[in-house]
Protein backbone atom coordinates (compact mmCIF):
# COMPACT_ATOMS: atom_id res chain seq x y z
CA UNK A 1 0.00 0.00 0.00
CA UNK A 2 2.94 2.34 -0.49
CA UNK A 3 1.08 4.08 -3.31
CA UNK A 4 -1.23 5.58 -0.64
CA UNK A 5 1.01 7.68 1.57
CA UNK A 6 -0.23 8.55 5.06
CA UNK A 7 2.71 10.64 6.13
CA UNK A 8 3.79 11.51 9.65
CA UNK A 9 2.13 11.37 13.00
CA UNK A 10 1.01 8.47 15.11
CA UNK A 11 -1.86 6.10 14.34
CA UNK A 12 -4.04 4.44 16.97
CA UNK A 13 -5.92 1.28 16.01
CA UNK A 14 -8.51 -0.20 18.34
CA UNK A 15 -9.00 -3.93 17.89
CA UNK A 16 -5.60 -4.02 16.21
CA UNK A 17 -4.57 -7.47 17.42
CA UNK A 18 -6.51 -9.40 14.80
CA UNK A 19 -8.50 -9.34 11.59
CA UNK A 20 -8.95 -6.03 9.78
CA UNK A 21 -7.35 -4.04 12.58
CA UNK A 22 -4.16 -6.06 12.50
CA UNK A 23 -3.95 -5.81 8.70
CA UNK A 24 -4.25 -2.02 8.97
CA UNK A 25 -1.53 -1.89 11.64
CA UNK A 26 0.79 -3.94 9.45
CA UNK A 27 0.22 -1.63 6.48
CA UNK A 28 0.73 1.53 8.52
CA UNK A 29 3.86 0.16 10.13
CA UNK A 30 5.15 -0.78 6.69
CA UNK A 31 4.97 2.89 5.75
CA UNK A 32 6.95 3.88 8.81
CA UNK A 33 3.94 5.33 10.60
CA UNK A 34 4.22 5.02 14.38
CA UNK A 35 1.37 2.74 15.42
CA UNK A 36 -0.33 1.89 18.68
CA UNK A 37 -2.80 -0.94 19.27
CA UNK A 38 -5.56 -0.71 21.87
CA UNK A 39 -6.93 -4.19 22.42
CA UNK A 40 -7.47 -6.58 25.36
CA UNK A 41 -5.58 -9.15 23.27
CA UNK A 42 -2.63 -6.80 22.73
CA UNK A 43 0.80 -8.35 23.09
CA UNK A 44 4.30 -6.91 23.40
CA UNK A 45 5.19 -3.88 21.33
CA UNK A 46 7.77 -3.92 18.58
CA UNK A 47 11.27 -4.03 19.94
CA UNK A 48 14.53 -5.98 19.78
CA UNK A 49 12.62 -9.25 19.86
CA UNK A 50 10.44 -8.24 16.91
CA UNK A 51 7.19 -7.90 18.85
CA UNK A 52 3.74 -8.63 17.49
CA UNK A 53 0.32 -6.99 17.05
CA UNK A 54 1.05 -6.40 13.38
CA UNK A 55 4.38 -4.70 14.04
CA UNK A 56 2.91 -1.97 16.27
CA UNK A 57 5.31 0.29 18.12
CA UNK A 58 3.10 0.15 21.21
CA UNK A 59 0.46 -2.42 22.15
CA UNK A 60 -1.77 -1.64 25.13
CA UNK A 61 -4.16 -3.96 26.91
CA UNK A 62 -7.22 -1.70 26.76
CA UNK A 63 -10.93 -2.52 26.92
CA UNK A 64 -12.61 0.08 24.70
CA UNK A 65 -15.78 -0.23 26.76
CA UNK A 66 -13.97 1.60 29.57
CA UNK A 67 -13.95 5.34 28.84
CA UNK A 68 -11.30 6.14 31.45
CA UNK A 69 -9.02 3.37 30.18
CA UNK A 70 -9.27 4.67 26.62
CA UNK A 71 -8.48 8.23 27.74
CA UNK A 72 -5.45 6.98 29.66
CA UNK A 73 -4.28 4.85 26.75
CA UNK A 74 -4.48 7.74 24.28
CA UNK A 75 -2.53 9.95 26.67
CA UNK A 76 0.16 7.28 26.98
CA UNK A 77 0.34 6.79 23.23
CA UNK A 78 0.95 10.50 22.68
CA UNK A 79 3.50 10.63 25.48
CA UNK A 80 5.51 7.73 24.06
CA UNK A 81 4.94 8.02 20.29
CA UNK A 82 3.91 11.61 19.64
CA UNK A 83 0.73 13.31 18.36
CA UNK A 84 -2.06 10.97 17.32
CA UNK A 85 -3.10 12.20 13.89
CA UNK A 86 -4.85 9.00 12.76
CA UNK A 87 -7.43 6.79 14.46
CA UNK A 88 -8.94 3.55 13.17
CA UNK A 89 -11.78 2.11 15.23
CA UNK A 90 -11.78 -1.58 14.36
CA UNK A 91 -12.76 -3.11 17.70
CA UNK A 92 -15.94 -5.15 17.46
CA UNK A 93 -17.60 -8.41 18.41
CA UNK A 94 -20.45 -10.34 16.84
CA UNK A 95 -22.76 -13.21 17.69
CA UNK A 96 -25.99 -14.58 16.28
CA UNK A 97 -29.38 -15.28 17.86
CA UNK A 98 -33.00 -14.64 16.84
CA UNK A 99 -34.12 -11.30 18.22
CA UNK A 100 -36.85 -12.86 20.38
CA UNK A 101 -34.23 -15.12 21.98
CA UNK A 102 -31.40 -12.60 22.22
CA UNK A 103 -30.02 -12.27 25.72
CA UNK A 104 -30.12 -8.58 26.78
CA UNK A 105 -26.65 -9.00 28.26
CA UNK A 106 -25.31 -10.12 24.87
CA UNK A 107 -27.07 -7.22 23.14
CA UNK A 108 -25.36 -4.87 25.58
CA UNK A 109 -21.93 -6.51 25.11
CA UNK A 110 -22.00 -6.15 21.33
CA UNK A 111 -23.26 -2.56 21.47
CA UNK A 112 -20.76 -1.56 24.15
CA UNK A 113 -17.75 -2.86 22.21
CA UNK A 114 -18.76 -1.69 18.74
CA UNK A 115 -20.63 1.56 19.46
CA UNK A 116 -19.52 2.69 22.92
CA UNK A 117 -15.95 1.66 22.11
CA UNK A 118 -15.96 3.78 18.97
CA UNK A 119 -17.47 6.69 20.91
CA UNK A 120 -14.85 6.45 23.64
CA UNK A 121 -11.97 6.37 21.15
CA UNK A 122 -13.25 9.26 19.03
CA UNK A 123 -14.05 11.29 22.13
CA UNK A 124 -10.51 10.76 23.44
CA UNK A 125 -8.70 11.91 20.29
CA UNK A 126 -11.05 14.58 18.95
CA UNK A 127 -10.00 17.47 21.23
CA UNK A 128 -6.34 16.70 20.57
CA UNK A 129 -6.80 16.55 16.80
CA UNK A 130 -8.99 19.66 16.76
CA UNK A 131 -6.42 21.65 18.72
CA UNK A 132 -3.75 20.69 16.18
CA UNK A 133 -6.00 21.42 13.21
CA UNK A 134 -5.34 18.03 11.68
CA UNK A 135 -6.61 14.48 12.01
CA UNK A 136 -8.20 11.54 10.22
CA UNK A 137 -10.60 9.05 11.78
CA UNK A 138 -11.99 5.89 10.21
CA UNK A 139 -14.56 3.77 12.05
CA UNK A 140 -15.53 0.29 10.92
CA UNK A 141 -19.23 -0.25 10.27
CA UNK A 142 -20.82 -3.03 8.20
CA UNK A 143 -23.14 -3.39 5.25
CA UNK A 144 -25.59 -5.01 7.66
CA UNK A 145 -26.14 -1.59 9.24
CA UNK A 146 -27.94 -0.62 6.03
CA UNK A 147 -29.34 -3.97 4.96
CA UNK A 148 -30.28 -5.44 8.34
CA UNK A 149 -28.91 -8.67 9.78
CA UNK A 150 -31.29 -11.54 10.54
CA UNK A 151 -30.19 -13.14 13.82
CA UNK A 152 -27.73 -10.29 14.28
CA UNK A 153 -29.94 -7.34 15.15
CA UNK A 154 -27.64 -6.27 17.97
CA UNK A 155 -24.61 -6.10 15.66
CA UNK A 156 -26.51 -4.24 12.93
CA UNK A 157 -27.96 -1.80 15.46
CA UNK A 158 -24.54 -1.10 16.98
CA UNK A 159 -22.99 -0.41 13.59
CA UNK A 160 -25.89 1.78 12.47
CA UNK A 161 -25.15 3.78 15.60
CA UNK A 162 -21.49 3.99 14.57
CA UNK A 163 -22.50 5.50 11.24
CA UNK A 164 -24.70 8.13 12.91
CA UNK A 165 -21.90 8.89 15.36
CA UNK A 166 -19.41 9.34 12.51
CA UNK A 167 -21.67 11.71 10.61
CA UNK A 168 -22.41 13.77 13.71
CA UNK A 169 -18.75 14.03 14.68
CA UNK A 170 -17.81 14.96 11.13
CA UNK A 171 -20.25 17.87 11.18
CA UNK A 172 -18.84 19.14 14.46
CA UNK A 173 -15.20 19.26 13.35
CA UNK A 174 -15.45 19.82 9.59
CA UNK A 175 -13.96 23.31 9.87
CA UNK A 176 -11.20 22.25 12.26
CA UNK A 177 -9.10 20.15 9.91
CA UNK A 178 -10.37 16.83 11.24
CA UNK A 179 -12.14 14.33 8.99
CA UNK A 180 -14.32 11.48 10.26
CA UNK A 181 -15.48 8.69 7.94
CA UNK A 182 -16.69 5.10 8.14
CA UNK A 183 -16.02 1.96 6.14
CA UNK A 184 -18.75 -0.65 5.80
CA UNK A 185 -17.21 -3.98 4.80
CA UNK A 186 -19.26 -6.91 3.61
CA UNK A 187 -18.34 -10.43 4.80
CA UNK A 188 -14.60 -10.56 5.45
CA UNK A 189 -12.74 -13.79 6.22
CA UNK A 190 -11.36 -12.90 9.63
CA UNK A 191 -11.58 -14.75 12.97
CA UNK A 192 -14.81 -12.85 13.67
CA UNK A 193 -16.45 -14.59 10.71
CA UNK A 194 -14.62 -17.92 10.69
CA UNK A 195 -15.32 -18.34 14.39
CA UNK A 196 -18.92 -19.30 13.67
CA UNK A 197 -19.26 -23.12 13.92
CA UNK A 198 -21.06 -23.32 10.57
CA UNK A 199 -18.79 -20.90 8.72
CA UNK A 200 -17.39 -23.41 6.24
CA UNK A 201 -20.86 -24.78 5.49
CA UNK A 202 -22.05 -21.27 4.70
CA UNK A 203 -18.93 -19.99 2.93
CA UNK A 204 -19.86 -21.15 -0.56
CA UNK A 205 -23.33 -19.62 -0.30
CA UNK A 206 -21.82 -16.36 0.91
CA UNK A 207 -19.42 -16.26 -2.03
CA UNK A 208 -22.19 -16.95 -4.56
CA UNK A 209 -24.22 -14.07 -3.16
CA UNK A 210 -21.39 -11.61 -3.82
CA UNK A 211 -21.18 -10.33 -7.42
CA UNK A 212 -17.39 -10.51 -7.41
CA UNK A 213 -17.68 -14.18 -6.47
CA UNK A 214 -15.66 -14.32 -3.27
CA UNK A 215 -15.72 -13.39 0.39
CA UNK A 216 -13.51 -10.43 1.26
CA UNK A 217 -10.10 -10.66 2.89
CA UNK A 218 -8.70 -8.30 5.51
CA UNK A 219 -6.32 -6.90 2.91
CA UNK A 220 -9.28 -5.75 0.82
CA UNK A 221 -10.19 -3.29 3.55
CA UNK A 222 -6.69 -1.91 4.07
CA UNK A 223 -6.48 0.18 0.88
CA UNK A 224 -9.79 2.02 1.45
CA UNK A 225 -8.81 2.62 5.09
CA UNK A 226 -5.46 4.14 4.16
CA UNK A 227 -7.12 6.22 1.46
CA UNK A 228 -9.57 7.72 3.95
CA UNK A 229 -6.72 8.50 6.35
CA UNK A 230 -4.60 10.09 3.64
CA UNK A 231 -4.61 13.59 2.19
CA UNK A 232 -5.94 12.05 -1.03
CA UNK A 233 -9.31 11.96 0.75
CA UNK A 234 -8.89 15.49 2.04
CA UNK A 235 -12.34 16.59 0.83
CA UNK A 236 -14.19 13.59 2.27
CA UNK A 237 -15.84 13.62 5.66
CA UNK A 238 -19.00 12.14 7.14
CA UNK A 239 -19.07 9.40 4.50
CA UNK A 240 -19.87 5.70 4.79
CA UNK A 241 -17.89 3.83 2.13
CA UNK A 242 -19.19 0.37 1.22
CA UNK A 243 -16.49 -2.24 0.51
CA UNK A 244 -18.29 -5.49 -0.24
CA UNK A 245 -17.55 -6.86 -3.72
CA UNK A 246 -20.89 -5.53 -4.96
CA UNK A 247 -23.03 -7.30 -2.36
CA UNK A 248 -24.75 -4.08 -1.31
CA UNK A 249 -25.24 -1.00 -3.46
CA UNK A 250 -27.28 1.47 -1.39
Sheet holding 240-243, edge to edge: 58-60, 34-38, 10-14, 84-89, 135-140, 178-185, 240-243
For 158-178, letters b (16+ CB in 10 Å) and e give bbbbbbebbbebbeebeeeeb
Which one of 116, 149, 155, 235 is the catalytic residue? 155
Distances (CA, A) of 4 to 36, 192, 242: 20, 27, 19
Radius of gyration of the chain (CA): 17
**Residue 211: partners with Cβ closer than 8 Å, 6 or more residues away:** 245, 246, 247
Asked if 47 contacts 25 with a C-beta cutoff of 8 angstroms, the reply is no
Residues 178 and 133: their CA atoms lie apart, in Å, by 7
Which residues, including other chains, have CB under 8 Å from residue 241's CB and lie 6 or more apart?
181, 182, 183, 184, 224, 228
Q: How far is CA 210 from the centre of its chain?
A: 22
Q: Would residue 155 show up in a list of annotated catalytic residues for this protein?
A: yes
The residues assigned a catalytic role are: 155
Amino acid sequence: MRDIEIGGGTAIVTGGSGGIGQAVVTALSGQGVRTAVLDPAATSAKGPSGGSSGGADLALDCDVRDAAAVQAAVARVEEELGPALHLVCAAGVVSEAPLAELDPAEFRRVVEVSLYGTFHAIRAVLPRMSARGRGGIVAMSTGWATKGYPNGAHYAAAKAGVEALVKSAALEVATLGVRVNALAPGPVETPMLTGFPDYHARAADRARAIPMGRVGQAGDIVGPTLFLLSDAAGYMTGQVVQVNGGLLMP
